Amino acid sequence: MVIGTAVTAVVTAIVTNIINPLIAALGGNDIAGLSWTVVAGNPKSTIDFAAVITALINFLVIAAVVYFAIVVPVKKIQQRRKRAGQAETLAATEVELLTEIRDLLQSRQSSS
């Protein structure tokens, strides 16, 4: 959670200072960028597409960071634990098999 908060601050700074100006450049020379005013003269009726795009970019970047920094390593750790458990099971199975072979050989030697 702490890492997510720190990453959010960094991503927000990057999006605000780098990506928002690029979006505003696509929208024209107007400082509002990609926005549309429903009622002329009423700034509260402005639909700001740049804010929505910024929020989507923030979400995608934060989701990618969390995925690659937390989810992928945890999956690898789980796979290692699973393989270690399988190795222990195989080792136990091999010992049981060798014990059975020994017992069979002993029984054949005693019957001859």
Summarised one tens digit per residue, pLDDT across range 7-36 is 777 777 777 777 777 766 776 555 456 777
- The model's pLDDT over 55-86, given as tens digits with 9 standing for 90+, comes to 788 788 888 888 898 889 999 999 988 887 77
Asked if residues 25 and 12 have their Cβ atoms less than 8 Å apart, the reply is: no
Q: Residue 58's domain spans which residues?
A: 2-111
The domain total for the chain is 1
Asked if residues 51 and 36 have their Cβ atoms less than 8 Å apart, the reply is: no
Integer CA distances (angstroms), 12 to 7, 9, 16, 83, in order? 8, 5, 6, 40
Q: What is the CATH number of the domain that holds 6?
A: 1.10.1200.120
pLDDT of 40 over the 80 cut? yes
The HSE-up count of residue 91 (CA atoms within 13 Å, CB side) is: 6
DSSP alpha helix (H) spans, 1-112: 2-14, 20-27, 49-66, 72-111
Q: The whole model's pTM is what? A: 0.51
